[in-house]
Structures are given as C-alpha cells and as structure tokens.
Amino acid sequence: MLNIYIAPSAHAADGPNLINNPSFETVTAPGQPSNWLVGFWPAELDASFDVVEGVGGAGTNAARTTITNYGTQGDAKWYFTDVPVEPETYYVFRNQYKSDATTRVFVRYNMGGEPGSEVFQHLPIAQALPANDWTNLSAEFLTPVGVVSATIFHILESNGYLTVDDYFLGTKDNPAVFENGVVTLSFDDGWQSVYTNALPILNEKGYKSTQFIITDVIQNERVGEYMTTAELQQLYGTGHDIAAHTRDHSSLTLPQLNEAEMKNQVSGSRYDLLTRLGFKPVDTFAYTYGDYNETAKTAVKDAGFLGARTIDEGFNELTTDPYALRSYSILKGGTTELGAEVPATTIESVRNAIDNAIANKAWLIFTLHQVDDNPANIYGATPEFFQQMVDYLAEKQATVRTMSETISLLPGTAAKDTVAPVIASMADIFVPAQSAEGSVVTFTSPTVSDTNDTGLSAFCMTDTGLVSGSTFPMGNTQMTCNAMDSSGNLATPVSFAINVTDPLAPVVTLSTTTSPTKLQEITFTFS
C-alpha cells in the first residue's frame, strides 16, 4: 500500500504548471472539460463521470468519478492529455480530492513509438485515504531515461466516488540530492534462497545487502525455508545489514491490530534482533506487504528506528520522509493466488533505474524476496537475473550501501550514543474478574526518557504474549516492559503485576429442607 503526503496548496519554488485547464473551469461541452479525458477498465465496469462543484464553491468546477457494482478488478479515472516532460528530472504533482474510498495515483510515462503503438510505463506515486472534505495531496517522482511525455491517473478502484480538482504538475526546483547516487540491495523475510543463491553473487563483487527479517520464523529455526540464526550471524559478521520486518509478518494496517499489538510487531521485532539474536543497531524497518499509514509510521519511529522502507515505487532524496522510503520491487512475474497478473521486472528497467540514480544523485533501493528458479515465487528474482543486476552495478561503478549506512546521511538523523533510555516505574494493576476466564485488561505503557531520542515508547508483554487489551487469567500475571533507542541501547526492563481477582464470595444453596427428629445426614449443594 502507498501513502498520502499532505502538503500546502501553494509551492512558489516549483516550476510552472504544465497542465492546461488544471481546475476544469473551461468546458467545451456539457460534462466535458477541455483537455481532460476519462478512462476505465474492464469494459463492463459500471463507472460514471460528471462535472460537479469545485474547491471554490458555487460557480467553480471539479471532476467526479463514481463506481457502482465493482467486480474483482478494474479502475476508473479522469486524466489530462499528455504533457512533454524531460527525462531524468524531478517533478512534483499535486491536486485536491474528496472520496469515500482509498484511491491511488499513478504517473503514466509515454516512452515513445508510432501513434497507436506507443510504449507506456505506469508508476505508482501516492495513495490517498478517504476524506469527506477537500484534502491536499502531493507526490514527487523522478522521470526515467527516454521518456517523452506523461499524464497522471488518480484512480478509483472500488465502489464509491472520487472528486478531484486543482491539478498541478511541474519540475521540482533544487532537489536535495546525495553527493553521489546510492543503490541499496534489500531482501525481505530472510529466505534461505538468498543465503544460498544471492550471497555468492554479492560476495564476488564485495557488495553488502540489507536483510529485513521476520523474527519469529528465524527464532523457530524453520531450516530449509528461512535462514538459520547461524547463517544470519555470518552475514552480520561480514558487514551485511540486519533489519526488522515484524515478528510474524502481520500487516500494520489491519483494523483489528490495536496499539499494543502493533508495538509487539514493531518494537518486538527490533527487540528480538537486538537481544535474542545479538544484532546491533537494527535501525531500519520494512513494512510488511508495503502496508503503512501514519499510525504505523509513528509506531516505527517510537520503537527507535531511524527509517522505514515501503514498496512505493520511486527514488529517494535527502528530504524524502525517512519513514516512507521508496523502492523498486524486483518481480519474476506470474499469477497470484487471487488470480491477479503480476508483470515481470525487465533487466532494461533495472538498468534504467540504476542509470537514473547515478545521473541524478538519488538513493535507489531495490526490494527482493526469494532468489531461486521456482516460477511460483513471483516476488523475487532468478539467480541469473540477480547476477545481471549485480554485474551492471559493477559495470557502472555504482555506490552500493546498506540501509543503515545510507539512512545516517539523511538530515535530522539522531547521532549515535551509548546512554540507554530509562523506563518509568509502573504500579501493579488490580482488576475484578469479568468471567471465569479472567478479565480484559487495557493499560497505558510507561513513559520512556532518553538523552538523544524523543518520542520513544515502551512495549510491554508477558512471556506468553499477552499485551494490553488481552484477556488476563485469574491470579497474578507478570508483565515486562522494554524500550530501545535509535542507537540500539536497551533500557533496564520494568516489570509490574496484573492481578485479576474474583470479588464475589461463594453462595450456598440448600437443595432440600428437612425437620430431623434425630441426628442424621442432610444432603445439600452450593455454588
């Protein structure tokens, strides 16, 4: 999932607006703004398009898309006619929107060709969350080598409506670039095939990677499928970067994931790598499935991470949000379990991305998963393809760095220190039982102070995985809280007890009554 970036509506430093009739005010026919087109697929999609009241109120225009009876695939959108763009140039896109659905934004590149036979590339650049009121959206992108023109698709791909207005597309003046282009090779999950097939290729060139690890599968030693602890320690000992990817690969945007459970996934995975597996500093994170929102970003920052990688496609500048770093996914291509077709990454697109990063002094992060010849593993690369990637990096003498090495170059990154954070003490909690199973107990984690990092938070859980919001059994349950700063310094754990008590005395109920005339036994029951 991609993410929205909210920005002011006016940016005087950007170049002139390339879009003709950007606010839909010029209408050549009823419901048809000049310079604007509509598109949808598949042909049977129940989509409608109309011109409605705009941002400025009565007398101004906006464009609305509506979908009813959405099936399993497709989208609908308004889009402006292509405008010429320069290759290897940073551009800024902005608009305002209202919608009752989550929507996405793509830039469509025209890479040339005869009319009717043009070659198009589609790049996702933003996601917009539902908004009842007019909301600003902004995204930046770096155009590829060979591009001729471009347009923007702000698409609706579910039942609902999307209303858009006030479009802007222009060059970004004075982008904040790195001293040199940087390339990072990142791998998600900790697959065994990376150790077996990718590591020898990396070692041949002396390149170091970043491994985003699901800590539960490593600690459970799922040998043959995922790397072992010993193999990860070998990677770590030779300069590879070990980073976090949650404990069990849960999405951080699931509605049922409460704050305590999110801390368990985010802070817990970092804690596992720092303490149970012995890696340090573990300062970057990768969002599972690419799913993230502001709540997830806050959880990552509060856990002491310096940054996080998404699967939003694009390059990174010095001013890119460190908790929403863009990347390029490497895919074998194929059909997913849900029947969706995933296109394969071409080596030409990889080479173009590397050339772009070098020419424009940008940070390019590649995201890979398995490296094997199994066609069923569509989210990854074959060893042959990965060899071609690495060979081209060497041919171009590209600077290859890990996530940790590069994140430290971003402005505002906290300086490293050796002082551990401090967790405030926590009083024991006493609650009455709600049932024979115990009681649901919700509490606020203790505060954390640190000399270098602000906003750190503690994550608290029991040895059996209970967190705030869980059902605690009768009796005394020990809860332990941990915290880490961005340098990997661990706080002294703080413990407290959660006591679930039964406040009700037992009730005796006689099942019969009798008037004995002599000493005899009386049978009764009680509860």
Give the residue ranges of DSSP H helices in 377-442.
383-395, 403-407
Longest Cα–Cα distance of the chain, Å, equals 114
Of 187, 206, 204, which Cα lies nearest the Cα of 195? 187
How far apart CA 88 and CA 354 sit, in angstroms, is 11
Q: Please give the C-alpha separations between residue 265 and each of 50, 226, 274, 465, 493, in angstroms, as whole numbers.
A: 44, 19, 14, 11, 18
**Treating both helix axes as pointing N-terminal to C-terminal, what angle do 259-271 and 294-302 enclose, rounded to 10 degrees?**
40
94-97-100 Cα angle (round to 5)? 145
Q: At what angle do helices 383-395 and 347-360 cross, to 10 degrees?
A: 30
Which band of pLDDT confidence, cut at 50, 70 and 90, is reported for residue 135? Answer: very high
- Gap between the Cα atoms of 328 and 123, Å rounded: 10
Close Cβ partners of 451 (under 8 Å, ≥ 6 residues apart):
417, 419
Spell out the CATH class of 422-501.
mainly beta
The continuous run of DSSP H or E covering 374 comes out as: none
CATH number of 182-407: 3.20.20.370
Count CA atoms within 13 Å of residue 113 on its CB side. 10
Q: What is the pLDDT of residue 377?
A: 92
Alpha helix stretches (DSSP H) within 208-286: 215-219, 229-237, 259-271
Element of type H or E holding 356: helix 347-360
Whether pLDDT at 7 is above 50: no
* Residue 526, pLDDT score: 54
Between 1 and 179, where is the model more confident? 179
The residue among 148 and 8 whose pLDDT is bigger is 148
Return the bridge partners of 221, or none: none
pLDDT at 368: 98
Angstrom distance (rounded) from CA 98 to CA 136: 9
Tokens of 451: 């000399």
Residue that is written with structure tokens 């908004």 in the block: 131
Within a 10 A sphere around the Cβ of 519, how many other Cβ atoms? 5
- Model-level pTM? 0.75
Q: Which residues contact 196 (CB under 8 A, 6 or more apart)?
A: none
Residues of the chain by 3-state class (helix, strand, coil), percent to 5: 15, 35, 45
Which pLDDT band, with edges at 50, 70 and 90, does 223 fall under?
Answer: low
Number of neighbouring beta carbons within 10 Å of residue 91: 23
Residue 10: pLDDT band (50, 70, 90) is very low
For 45-65, the pLDDT digits (tens) are 999 999 999 999 888 999 999
CATH class of 27-171: mainly beta
> Residue 518: its pLDDT value, please?
63
DSSP calls for 446-472: PBEE-SS-SS-B-EEE-TT---TTSEE
pLDDT at 175 over 90: no
CA–CA separation, 186 and 246 (whole Å): 15
Distance CA 333, CA 376 (A): 9
- Please say whether the beta carbons of 157 and 123 come within 8 A: no
Same fold, 182-407 and 422-501: no
Q: What integer pLDDT is reported at residue 513 of this predicted model?
A: 58
**pLDDT digit string, tens, across residues 427-458:** 999 999 999 899 999 999 999 999 888 889 89
pLDDT of residue 145: 85
Q: Do the bridges between strand 439-440 and strand 471-472 make them parallel or antiparallel, or are there none, so unpaired?
A: antiparallel
The one-letter code for the residue type at 180 is N
- Where along the chain do its domains lie? 27-171, 182-407, 422-501
**Residue with tokens 């817990």, as numbered in its chain:** 268
Residue 8 has a pLDDT of: 32
- Whether the CB-CB separation of 84 and 148 falls below 8 Å is answered with yes
Q: Which of 76-80, 281-285, 515-519 has the highest mean pLDDT?
A: 76-80
pLDDT of residue 520: 62
Helix (H, G, I), strand (E, B) or coil at 204: helix
Cα separation of 125 and 140, whole Å? Answer: 7
Output the pLDDT for position 451: 85
Q: What is the mean pLDDT of residues 79-108?
A: 94
How many residues are given for the chain? 527
Question: What three-state secondary structure class fits 272?
Answer: helix
Q: Sort residue 146 into left (φ over 0), alpha (ψ -120 to 50) or beta.
A: left
Q: Which of 10-24, 56-70, 327-341 has the lowest mean pLDDT?
A: 10-24
> How far lies 279's CA from each of 229, 246, 263, 440, 482, in Å?
11, 15, 19, 35, 17
Quick one: tokens of 105? 């934004």
Strand partners, 103: 128
CB 197 within 8 A of CB 372: yes
Q: Evaluate if residue 509 carries a pLDDT over 90.
A: no
313-344 as b/e: b if 16+ CB within 10 A: bbbbbbebebbbbbbbbbbbeeeeeeeeeeee
Average pLDDT over residues 356-363: 91
